[in-house]
Each structure stands twice: as C-alpha cells, then as structure tokens.
Amino acid sequence: MLRLERAIKQTAGHAPVVPNMWPVLADRQVQIRRGEVSVIAGPPGCGKSTLALALAVRSGSPTLYCSADTHSHTMALRQLAMLANRNQADIEPVMVTHPEWCEQTLQQAAHIRWCFDSAPNMRSIDDELTAYEELYGDTPDLVVIDNLTDVVGDSGGDEWGGMRSLMKDFKHLARQHDTAVLVLHHTSEGWQSPEGFCPPMRALQGKVAQTPALVLTLAQGQPGVLLVCPVKNRYGPSSPGGADPSWIGYNPASMQIYDPSEGQR
C-alpha cells in the first residue's frame, strides 16, 4: 500500500511531463507524461518517427529510443540532418568524408541512447531499461518504441489481441520504471481521411486506444505542413474523429519539425 504523500516524495525531482512540447500542442494540453503510455499513429511514411525523434531532441530529456523499424545508419543520417538543418541527401556523403564533424554534431543529442534490436520483446526492452538504470543511476524520462508492430508479443495467433496485450505491458513498464513510454503505431491503410483531417481514433490498427493516456494521429497537409490531432487525451480536450488537427511546420528532407509561432530555423 502507498500513501499519496509518499508517491509525491518518490517522484520529487522528476518533471511529470517531457518538457518543451511545441506551443501549438502545449496550448491544447498535449503532453507526454511519465508513468503513462502515449501513442503517435498514422499511415506509413507520414512522419511518425520524425515527430518522435524531434520531440526527443527538443526535450533534452534522458531518452531510450528503441528503433526496431529503422537501421542505425538511417537514424544517424536523420538525426544529423535534423541537428544541422541540412537535407539528408547532402548529409549522407559527409558521413563518409567528415566522420569527425558528424560525431561532434551528434553530441548535441547525446541525451538519447539507442537500441536497434529489430524484433524486441517485452523482456528485452525491460532489460534495456534495467541496463540504462544501472549505467546512469536513474531511469530515462522518455522511452520511444518505434514501432508497435515490430515488438514480438505472445499473440496466441491473434495479432490484434497481441497488440492490445503489449500495450498493457507498456503501461506496466511505464509505471514500474516511472518513465514516459511513447509508442509509434500504424493506422489502417484502408482508412481515407478527408482533406484537412487526421485519422480518427478508431482507425488505429488493433483497436489499441483503450490503454494510452494520449493518442496523436498524423496526416500530411499542404506542402510544408504536418497535421497533428489529439484523438484521445486523458488530460485535456480531444477530437476523436480527427477533425480538429493542429498545423505544424514540416520539412521531411531536412527532418525539421517546427511550431508556426517559432518559425523554421
């Protein structure tokens, strides 16, 4: 049994939310919270990984990024492009010709640690967290799972049921380690949202929206715009049908995500 006063003492010194959310989303009470599971979902290629990586970089918070979906070379290329604000096509040859510059640039995001297991399971993810805590003496503020379909679970032949079971396991992980777990996931490829809309909550594959405290769905708007909609938000307003997205600046070539009020770097 635990008194709430003790819970406050246990979490003292830790921010309850991952800091530096883009203002356009923070104004809608969109926050990634410790002890909770959050989800970024959308169709393939819509910018899920870009948004998650940009959030981790922008926050400056200790982060464990489990990249099952994408190889280490590609993630290094993406992060270099993001940090240097240069197109990926220009950065890739520099990784060969000027490795020292690349290593120095990547130090700007040294608060992010990486796992590139292509088929992790809950035990291996928990082992990564335990190793992190042993190495750094504390839990990371943020754990990114990229993405849910690559995590091996005990589905028993029921793929969707396996996904829902994994989400419950992630909730347990978030509470046990007092960390924010951010899961990237797909929406149904057969779902066609009207122009200016994001996919609704019911479009998430496997109907996994019951567990997370926050679900953001994404869609690409006009050139240079990423649409982001909180279709579920336990701590603020939401638009379950995806009809009220926020507009965020987006340049996929250079991996830039920026708030309209801040402008592009």
Which tokens go with 114?
């990486």
Percent of the chain topping pLDDT 70: 92
Mean pLDDT of 114-118: 96
pLDDT tens-digit series, residues 33-48: 999 999 999 999 999 9
Domain 22-258 is in which class? alpha beta
Which carries the bigger pLDDT value, residue 157 or residue 127? 127
pTM: 0.94
Quick check: 74 pLDDT over 90? Answer: yes
Quick check: 138 pLDDT over 90? Answer: yes
Q: Is 8 helix (H, G, I), strand (E, B) or coil?
A: helix
Residue in 222, 182, 250 with CA at minimum distance from that of residue 41: 182
Mean pLDDT of 65-79: 96
pLDDT computed for residue 6 by the predictor: 62
pLDDT computed for residue 205 by the predictor: 94
Quick check: 233 pLDDT over 80? Answer: yes
First to last CA, the chain: 50
Quick check: 134 pLDDT over 60? Answer: yes
How open is the CA angle 248-250-254, to the nearest 5 degrees? 150
CA of residue 7 relative to chain centroid, distance: 26
Q: Is 212 helix (H, G, I), strand (E, B) or coil?
A: coil
pLDDT computed for residue 158 by the predictor: 80
Percent of the chain topping pLDDT 90: 83
Mean pLDDT of 25-38: 97
Residue appearing with tokens 């992790």: 120
pLDDT tens-digit series, residues 179-198: 999 999 999 988 888 889 99
Quick check: 227 pLDDT over 90? Answer: yes
> For residue 174, which phi and psi values (nearest 5 degrees)?
-60, -40
Residue appearing with tokens 């336990």: 234
Which carries the bigger pLDDT value, residue 2 or residue 15? 15
Instruction: Domain ranges for the chain, please list them.
Output: 22-258
Residue appearing with tokens 């967290």: 129
Lowest mean pLDDT among 3-7, 90-94, 148-152: 3-7
Q: Classify strands 225-233 and 214-220 as parallel, antiparallel or unpaired.
A: antiparallel
Quick check: 202 pLDDT over 60? Answer: yes
Sequence length of the chain is 265
